[in-house]
Structure 1
């Protein structure tokens, strides 16, 4: 027993040692890798420091010469010391101005030019604040290894926003690393602008996510974006919220460098912007995109369109719209919905998307089958009086490419026609139960609508039309005007898989013609007319008299045209 115990004790110790060793071995590689990485970085740094030292031996290292203007304002330079010299990736420009109180502007303007054009261009500039007569700026080199010419200009004593050359020097950078510093103009610095970037030269793949802060801007302020590539230019305005901003910027113009200017409001001029900073974005995607066209209504009504970001996107037959309304914008609380107009050739449809808690996020049908659609997104006119029409103002326009296989314009749900709603589907099934033909089904739907919906005389006389008038609303209220009869009949027909469409026209029931709406249904390949409003009864002494008649289901068209004039189809 003792021998066995000793053996197991030895084995347990051995396993413990293995465990301890393995635990230590798991920790050691990461530590050693970190040390190795730091050692390699230090080695590289030392390599370029030595290269700079060797390169400086080739130069005469003459002292830097200042211009006569430096003597006029008492400017001296602590750094750099030489007219031409070599460095490892960065330099410091530092100086002091004795007569700084005489300056009309309080920034030093430092311009850096590369002798060769690179991915990040061949020039960059810095506006360095002058505080108590002193200025100090670290500069990195945006094209990596090569020769650079640097000019330091200081502000005039007698002219605002005017500069004089003070010092010029040449630098040879031995380090191949590319770093384009983020720099801000005086306007950007006054706005306390700060982008969430490490460099102002970045690589992206189709979309650039801009994020930043503007500490001195208010929520009612906006920032303008200006994107350029070759001869193409795109402009857009985005809001500032809680001192910050963000926007996903499509790199519209395909592969290559896009120049993005971020502009802030000019405090001296209304509706005018000044460049705050510039970012160069090297787009690796060869995809080109179509910019969205925005109108002034976009800003006036405080809209932010979050999706889509660009036009020309493809869809399988539906398309989503997402965005928000600034609660502080004019008419924001009253903007309860937005309108979507989708146009393909001569065909046009109007859809409504609700706005809840100042947000909208919903889809609409591209109902006319495959092809290119022009989509306009609009906000409604906020009316003081009732009316039987709706005005709306477009704030964004773009194209969408539909890849839908079929044109199902007369079967799909549409504005006011919720044929996919459970209540509608259930009622349609009940009404058509036991009916074998589309004609029988259509007649049953006509009979139900004409017999169960009363005409709302007050709504017609008082122009009490609302944007959310619909089949569901009519079914709930059991009353309405001609459009409401048509909405409900069409919804029930489409829910029964019968093509149906909303017909606009004029009707003559008295001395003057009036706007009217009725229905056409595709029965056995032929479009059949039905007018459930006139089939429900008539008006006498401004009162509705319920008197059902079958006359207006598939009526004699010669007689029908004596009282009805068809002007078109509405979607």
Structure 2
């Protein structure tokens, strides 16, 4: 009995040992299997090995005779043709680097076939203490690429010689187009908020970056290209940073955006810092804004609009700023806006306050395409009765608004002003038809506004002359009488317009008066001539009703109409 028990104890011990050995053996085999599996799962390594086997015996990388002159050694790569998994490192040394005319190696990567991200990408790699190193990726993914390494001349600036070239078979399908900077971009210490120079966009691409070696005095130029179309624009650098929403004007497809920095050796000249490719997913085609040299000279930044061709319901807003540091920056107190539709043209003025402008204007001639020109005023010291201005941006707007040219507020005619409306309501109180209202407004203006002889003789005209100023001061010249009368008429829902012409005796001078639409017909009003006359250089108040709807044949004996101003 005792022997039988000993036998079973011994048997169980042997079984346990066998189980333990078996378990250990299984674990070891599983571990080796896992390692092998993990090794197999490194992406595309098998494809690299297979491709290198297809290439066969790999020929060592050869250097040019120029390399021998400089004492160049290329540590990586080592072969003339080989396969790679998405990336290749180039590592070299130059014994006689101090003889070179530039501090950059020029590396060109060219795909055998055109792809979405182009066919070529260039790297400018700094040479530091005789060494250079650059990681390159393959912008069109899987395929064949030729790579050349060029080093600067010892004799001529901006001249490079071939040093080495090799062929890479990239097996990795991932596309990665590095952001590369030219020497100019690197000197400007430029960085961008994008890791790739091939990106997607949808109508707009938000460009953001830094240029640590540029000051607020500098600007950056953008140049956008697609097929035969191109557009350029200048943007400011503020505290070493820049940003701009770039419109992708030319519809679906790849737009090339070149970012340029100032050339330190030449005024008003720019050099390429980097180039981005932006694949626009939108079919929409937009109209570029045409910027003149005045835009840069007068320090304008137009924030809105960023492109032309937008639709409007008849009212349109522009927004931007003036650089206070440029010449005439502090003196630029307003912006002129010219809107043109066919033969019809209007001029509006919006103020610049604290070096910014943000205001709207009317597209007053009804539905259609308008050409809009934004201008800055000529800055001059002497007074004059005319104003010159210089366009800085031109674009188109599509309007769906009604033709209300003679009812809407306009330059100098604030018919929507509460003060104007209140005065018009007071003056026309109790009048039941438009003719009586117009006569009451004519009477009020002619009786209450005195002629400003000094303003006329000194040419003391200002851009903000208007109905409101006349209502407050109760004095002015012919334009001011007309502004106030028209504003009060329009605020009373009576169509009215500003008429330009000449008036007087033998030597007629420039003059302005009013036409109002009463009972379906245009009627003449000249509140200036109805207010009095000049004698010995002084204004003599002498109200006359004669210049409200005068006999037109008699009126033409002293007045010559040249047109309507909007």
Q: Same fold (TM over 0.5)?
A: yes
- Distance (whole Å) between structure 1 residues aligned to residue 449 and residue 377 of structure 2: 29
Q: For the residues of structure 2 that align with 1:217 and 1:45, how far apart are their CA atoms?
A: 47
Q: Determine if the alignment matches structure 1 residue 443 to structure 2 residue 443.
A: no
State the secondary structure of the residue aligned to 2:266. Answer: coil
> What is the Cα deviation at residue 50 of structure 1?
3.3
Provide the C-alpha distance between the structure 2 equivalents of 1:199 and 1:369, rounded to a whole number of angstroms: 46
Looking at structure 1, the residues matched to 43 and 524 of structure 2 have their Cα atoms a distance apart, in angstroms, of 88
Among 536, 541, 556, the alignment partner of 1:561 is: 556
Q: Which moved more, 1:267-276 or 1:560-569?
A: 267-276
Shift of 1:110: 0.5
Structure 1 residue 145, shift from structure 2 partner:
1.0
**What runs of 5+ residues in structure 2 fail to find an aligned partner?**
1-37
Shift of 1:400: 0.9
- Mapped to 2, the partners of 1:44 and 1:524 lie a distance apart of 92
Corresponding residue to 1:221 among 218, 223, 228: 218
Q: How big is the shift at 1:43?
A: 9.2
Equivalent position of 1:136 in the other structure: 133
| Deviation (angstroms), 1:45 | 7.0
In structure 1, the residue matched to 2:45 is: 49
C-alpha deviation, 1:52, in angstroms? 2.1
1:415 maps onto 2:404 in alignment: no
Deviations, residues 156-215 of structure 1 (Å, cap 9, x unaligned):
112221111111111111211111000011111111111211100011011111111111
2:82 pairs with 1:91: no
CA-to-aligned-CA distance 1:127-155 (integer Å, 9 cap, x gap): 00000000010111100111111111111
Instruction: Name the residue aligned to 1:259.
Output: 256
Structure whose CA Rg is larger: 2
The residue that corresponds to 1:38 in the other structure is none
2:310 to 308, 313, 317: 313
What is residue 127 of structure 1 aligned with on the other side?
124
Structure 1 residue 113 displacement after superposition:
0.9
Residue of structure 2 equivalent to 1:11? none
Q: Within 5 Å, which residues of 2 pair with 1:14-93?
A: 46-59=42-55, 60-93=57-90
Alpha-carbon distance in 2 for matches of 1:310, 1:445: 43
Cα shift at 1:529: 0.4
Deviation at 1:51, TM superposition (A): 2.7
Separation of aligned partners in 2, 1:292 and 1:47: 48
Q: Which residue of 2 aligns with 1:541?
A: 536
Q: What aligned pairs does 1:156-235 form with structure 2 within 5 A after superposition? A: 156-235=153-232
Partner of 2:376: 379
- Equivalents in 2 of 1:457, 1:280: separation in Å? 64
Cross-structure match for 1:356: 353
Aligned to 1:474: 470
The offset of 1:220, in angstroms, is: 1.7
Using the alignment, how far apart are the partners of 1:79 and 1:102 within structure 2? 23
3-state SS in 2 of match to 1:430: helix
How far apart, in 2, do the equivalents of 1:136 and 1:272 lie?
31
1:518 to 505, 513, 523: 513
Inter-partner Cα distance in structure 2 for 1:292 and 1:258: 17
Match of 1:148 in 2: 145
Q: Compute the RMSD of aligned alpha carbons.
A: 1.3
Q: Match of 1:47, SS?
A: coil
Displacement after TM superposition at 1:515 (Å): 0.7
Secondary structure in 2 matching 1:343: strand
Indicate the residue corresponding to 1:3 in structure 2: none
- Residue number in structure 1 paired with 2:33: none
Rounded to whole Å, the distance in 1 between the matches of 2:145 and 2:223 is 28
Matches of 1:54 and 1:558, distance apart in 2: 100
Q: 1:129 to 1:44 in 2, by over 3 A?
A: farther
The more displaced of 142-151 and 220-229 is: 220-229
Equivalent residue number for residue 6 of structure 1: none
1:317-332 aligned at under 5 Å gives the runs 317-332=314-329
Which residue of the partner structure matches residue 4 of structure 2?
none
2:386, 2:333 → 1: CA distance? Answer: 17
State the secondary structure of the residue aligned to 2:44: helix
- Supply the distance in 1 between the matched residues of 2:355 and 2:221 (Cα, whole angstroms): 23
Q: Aligned to 1:357, what secondary structure does the other structure show?
A: coil
Query: Where does residue 30 of structure 1 map in the other structure?
Result: none
Measure how far apart 1:47 and its partner are. Answer: 2.2
Tell me by how many angstroms 1:311 deviates: 1.4
Pick which of 266-275 and 252-261 moved more: 266-275
Distance 1:382 1:43, change over 3 A: farther
Structure 1 residues not aligned, in runs of 5+? 1-41
Residue 496 (structure 2) aligns with? 500
Q: Which residue does the alignment assign to 1:104?
A: 101
- For the residue of structure 2 that corresponds to 1:57, the secondary structure is helix
The 2-side partners of 1:245 and 1:459 are apart by 46
State how far apart, in whole Å, the 2-side matches of 1:524 and 1:436 are.
Answer: 13
- Range with greater deviation from structure 2 (59-68 or 430-439): 59-68
Structure 2 residue 547 is the aligned partner of structure 1 residue 552: yes
1:462-500 CA-to-partner distances (Å, cap 9, x unmatched) read: 111110011111111111111111000000000000000
Q: 2:525 aligns with which of 506, 516, 530?
A: 530
Q: Structure 1 residue 273 and structure 2 residue 270: aligned? A: yes
SS for the counterpart of 2:42 is helix
Change (3 A) 1:45 1:161: farther
Query: Does 229-238 or 531-540 show the bigger shift?
Result: 229-238
Equivalent-residue separation in structure 2 for 1:508 and 1:523 (angstroms): 27
What residue in structure 2 maps to residue 17 of structure 1? none
Give the deviation of 1:44 after TM superposition. 10
